[in-house]
Structure 1
């Protein structure tokens, strides 16, 4: 959206534009006077927007069809529906800017001032328009480091119906509507689909368990009505972490409560059903705690430190795999951070876990520790830039390689600076500073990352700095431009991802070479013009400078050549590694094919063996049957032989008659 540069704030800017366009704000305004300056379509649209801004949605009866002008005006106005008045004002001025960019230069102060009859009600943050008394919420601005408040003409309206300041690197308070949540700190906050969810927290020593939601499209608060389940609602807690998960779920990890469990509990809130449940996990979970840090890395949650129910400080490390729901206690090598709670944690490049600050029972810290999640090794790198002061109870959020830290305290006062760490170069810098006892300089506040009009914004809520807060503040960071300028003023240390940044370093070296040559050449020219009387000396100095520049140039070119050679070697090694990986993958695919063929062959052999075993069993049965038949046959043959012998002996009568055996045989033969 093009920024309106009239120098007036709403609604003043709107009434000035309406006056110039030909609308006097009365109900009898017609399109004819405006059509002389604009086309009929533009005049109708401006008329409708003016009516919407001053009278609200169209509730007039539809004119008769035989009144074409009135019918067109009604149709245009009615088509805006329930568009908010501030949005109608914004569109009115925007269209006027597009149609007539120089309109404001032709409007004198004598014309503008009478048209702006604005009354202030009891709330200095609300402006009442003169036509119908509609309230237009105005933006509050937090004082900057210089103690000045941003003027209304410096605001860039970017919201849909509500004004949200998009001034870079300044905290502002959007015009939030709805019933505000109870003031609190040590709560949990998470963003899902342009909505910030707030759960639990501490208010006057009382733990909370309400779930509130801020719609960052309309900037309105509402309370989530939790549905009862058999396992009941989650108990009130504070010092926990709220993590968005699986697109439509919230994970509440740990926290202090009145009746703490022995182990760390993970609660799940399902947005579609508005129900709480306990996440069923396996393995050995950590002991219960609060003030710990939780970061979401890939499909795991990494939990570090905190304070248990007995107020004992911790520095242990646990990982929960969200796919297998299994806990794993890690034992990294190296020197871990000292036991602490209320610190901040972030992850860089899905590999490096960064721990900053926190506190013990008697001191606050400003040390920075890094854990390589692949090698599981702790290190304590050297911090660069404007090293932050010790603090605890701060909150952080990452945008790319930049880690923004907001708030915190040192047991004496709140921290007023909003700082940022470039996680690749480990360089700190200050983004902005607030003044006074504001919620941004407090402990236990939350900061989340959201987007508005396609740009990243930080949204802070709550905190405690002598009083409990429930304010919402927004900051639009300019880290993509300002941080690069700040970093070039300092020597860059070893990067956590040097190989990834090698190409960028080569480009920066080339840029530095060109800028350095140009800057020194300009200095030489200026010295020549200012030293006309000492031309010989100047020429000699120029020769010396040229020699120095040539030497520096040669040195830089040599360094650049080395960097390019190193980059070429890295690219060659990467190509070779990819080639080896390709060959290994092909070999793996071939082995998988051979294995599949062998498995198929083994299966066939198993089938053949089973068939042979079945045949062996059948042959054994047949063998037994053959033996039985053989015995039966032998018995039959023996019986037949005995019968023949009896017949050949003549029987009993022949024996009794005394016939000799030879004669009996002859008798038998005859």
Structure 2
């Protein structure tokens, strides 16, 4: 997981892009590594994605404004060396932040965001809504619903022509992939925060709005959407229309078109502008973000990892967690475990126990 921003009151403090943090979801242990190469400027609102062992970041905003630069780093070679990715053809998206990305067939497919355009670039009012509070002469800022594709095999950009009714322009929305379809949920445009959900077929480039047949979550921005099965998406947190940080969790079935609110133990931990990823056994791990409305007050940045169970656990997982939670009682029995299983159990003990207790148990076992 990659840390990029912390801000204090009216001053933004960007955390350095020459370090990367890795989190072991089994043991709950963090480690950090230095990064070299063509280190990108420290930014907020960048869009990160992973493709064939490479992490790509695109866009974002720094002290000099919005950018449309693309950088990548190999996560598998242990070197963690940044490189700036130069285009071999096509026109890249205009500078923007708070966008989303789908990864499909060696391509990075970017949607939406908030950024700037020149007057001569405003050729379609349906794809760009001007922020009336933010424009200077011939430079306009606003929200878009554009789709841009970066082909990693050719390093070329293109903007496919889509069909169907596209979602309204937006930023700070959430996106996820299921099969060959990219999904978009919620987000902000002007003063509106939405809860609608749309999908784009990445084979035919056809948009479809999915109209739920159940109660829907509140409109929101700065939330996350994570695929947890072949037909289900997990939504967590965000900022409501009333600018209230949210802590509710929902699962949406794209086949039945039903939203279901999920009970979880983190109701007292609202999050917005956080990250989320799929873990073991369909768990969702949420990291970072803020528990406050960061544009008004910024004392609530978080560095804990929240784990959400979205599916019933296997008997093996239940046993591992039970031993991890009761390791001190079961110290003698740990001696009987085969080495491979013992290492797995020690990771679960680490997840549930402080480091000092883990060290004592490790020596005993």
The normalised TM-score by structure 2 is 0.70
Equivalent-residue separation in structure 2 for 1:444 and 1:261 (angstroms): 18
Give the deviation of 1:425 after TM superposition. 2.3
The structural deviation recorded for 1:424 is 2.2
Which residue is 2:200 aligned to? 371
Distance 2:272 2:203 in 1: 33
> Structure 1 residue 280: deviation in Å?
2.2
Q: Displacement of 1:437 after TM fit?
A: 4.9
Alpha-carbon shift at residue 372 of structure 1 (Å): 2.3
Corresponding residue for residue 261 of structure 2: 430
Richer in strand (by share): 2
Q: How do 1:459-538 residues align onto structure 2 when only pairs under 5 Å count?
A: 459-466=285-292, 467-478=300-311
Relative distance call for 1:259 and 1:412 in structure 2 (3 A) is: closer
State how 1:51-62 maps to structure 2 within 5 Å: none
Contact 1:395–1:408 (Cα < 8 Å) also in 2:
yes
Is residue 211 from structure 1 mapped to residue 20 from structure 2 by the alignment? yes
For residues 69-84 of structure 1, the aligned pairs below 5 Å read none
Q: Residues of 2 paired with 1:261 and 1:471: CA distance?
A: 29
Question: 2:103 matched to which residue of 1?
Answer: 296
Match of 1:408 among 216, 219, 238: 238
Give the 3-state SS of the residue equivalent to 2:145 in structure 1: strand
Q: Is the 8 A contact 1:394 1:408 kept in 2?
A: yes
**Distance change in 2, residues 1:464/1:211 (3 Å):** same
How far residue 444 of structure 1 moved from its aligned partner, in angstroms, is 0.3
1:158-307 map, 5 Å: 197-204=1-8, 205-208=12-15, 209=17, 210-227=19-36, 229=37, 231=38, 233-247=39-53, 249-260=54-65, 264-271=68-75, 272-281=78-87, 282-307=89-114
Q: Deviation of residue 332 (structure 1)?
A: 1.2
Distance in 2 between residues matched to 1:435 and 1:274, nearest whole Å: 33
- How much has 1:346 moved relative to structure 2? 1.8
Distance 1:376 1:480, change over 3 A: farther
TM-superposed deviation, 1:404: 0.5
Does the alignment pair 1:389 with 2:193? Answer: no
Specify the SS of the correspondent of 1:341. coil
The structure whose RCO (Cα within 8 Å, separation 6+) is larger is 2
Aligned-pair CA distance for 1:244: 2.0
Mapped partners of 2:257, 2:201: distance in 1: 15
Shift of 1:436: 5.9
Q: How many residue pairs align between the two structures?
A: 274
SS at match of 1:346: strand
Task: Tell me the alpha carbon deviations over residues 155-200 of structure 1, each in whole angstroms, 9 at most, x when there is no partner.
Answer: xxxxxxxxxxxxxxxxxxxxxxxxxxxxxxxxxxxxxxxxxx2231
Other-structure match for 2:161: 331
Partners of 1:360 and 1:348 in 2: CA distance: 25
The answer to whether the Cα contact below 8 Å between 2:286 and 2:306 also exists between their aligned partners in 1 is yes
With over 3 angstroms needed to count, the CA separation of the structure-2 counterparts of 1:284 and 1:433, relative to structure 1, is same
State which structure, 1 or 2, has the greater radius of gyration over its C-alpha atoms. 1
Deviations 1:18-52 (A, max 9, x none): xxxxxxxxxxxxxxxxxxxxxxxxxxxxxxxxxxx
Q: Structure 2: how far apart are the matches of 1:219 and 1:434?
A: 18
- TM-score, normalized by length of structure 1? 0.39
In the TM superposition, residue 361 of structure 1 has moved relative to its aligned partner by: 2.9
Residue of 277, 282, 300 corresponding to 1:448: 277
Match of residue 250 from structure 2: 419
Bigger share in helix:
1
Match of 1:598 in 2: none
Q: Can you give the 5+ residue segments of structure 2 that lack an aligned partner in the other structure?
A: 117-139, 293-299, 315-365
Deviation per CA, 1:60-81, whole angstroms, max 9, x where unpaired? xxxxxxxxxxxxxxxxxxxxxx
Q: What per-residue deviation string (whole Å, max 9, x for no partner) do you get for residues 367-410 of structure 1?
A: 11222223322222321223111011001111222110111111
Residues 437 and 480 of structure 1: is their aligned pair in 2 closer, same or farther, counting only changes over 3 Å? closer
Are residues 435 and 322 of structure 1, via their aligned partners in 2, closer, same or farther at CA, if it must alter by over 3 Å? closer
Identify if the C-alpha distance between structure 1 residues 328 and 464 changes in structure 2 by more than 3 Å, giving closer, same or farther: same
**Residue aligning to 1:346:** 176
1:6 paired residue number: none
For the Cα contact (< 8 Å) 1:200–1:211, is it kept in 2? no
Deviation digits for residues 549-587 of structure 1 (CA, Å, limit 9, x no counterpart): xxxxxxxxxxxxxxxxxxxxxxxxxxxxxxxxxxxxxxx
The 3-state SS of whatever aligns with 1:359 is: strand
Unaligned runs of 5+ residues in structure 1 are 1-196, 482-670
1:402 and 1:479 in contact (8 A); partners too: no
Please state how far the C-alpha of 1:261 moved relative to its aligned partner. 6.3
Give the whole-Å Cα distance in 1 for the aligned partners of 2:265 and 2:245: 11
Aligned-residue offset at 1:448: 0.6
Cα distance change of structure 1 residues 299 and 479 upon mapping to structure 2, 3 Å threshold: farther
State how far apart, in whole Å, the 2-side matches of 1:408 and 1:364 are.
10
Q: What is the alpha-carbon distance in structure 1 between the residues aligned to residue 235 and residue 267 of structure 2?
A: 18
Cα contact 1:341–1:358 (8 A) shared by 2: yes
RMSD: 2.2
User: Does the C-alpha gap of structure 1 residues 479 and 254 become closer, same or farther in structure 2, counting only changes over 3 Å?
Assistant: farther
Deviation of 1:214 after TM superposition, in Å, equals 1.5
